[in-house]
Amino acid sequence: MAIRRVPPEMFRFAIGDNAESYVAIPHEFGEANERLEMALLQTVFCCRHSGST
């Protein structure tokens, strides 16, 4: 099976005048996702250990 390469056009957003903004937005969504996951895990953990359902 041949290795498939990612087309360079997919990264065009990372260059140019707005590159910093275009790269920062997915980064911020990733950070928010991590915080949400941690909050949800803490909620589940706390509920299980406090006897709540």
- Torsion sign (Cα): 14, 18, 21, 22: negative
Structure tokens at 1: 């099976």
> What are 7-20's pLDDT values in tens digits?
888 888 778 888 88
**Which residue is it, tokens 């950070």?**
31
Q: How far is CA 41 from CA 28, 29, 51, in A?
A: 20, 18, 16
Span between the terminal Cα atoms of the chain, in Å: 49
The model's pTM is 0.52
- The rounded distance, in Å, linking the Cα atoms of 52 and 42 is 13
pLDDT in tens, the chain (53 residues): 788 888 888 888 778 888 888 888 888 999 999 999 999 999 988 888 776 55
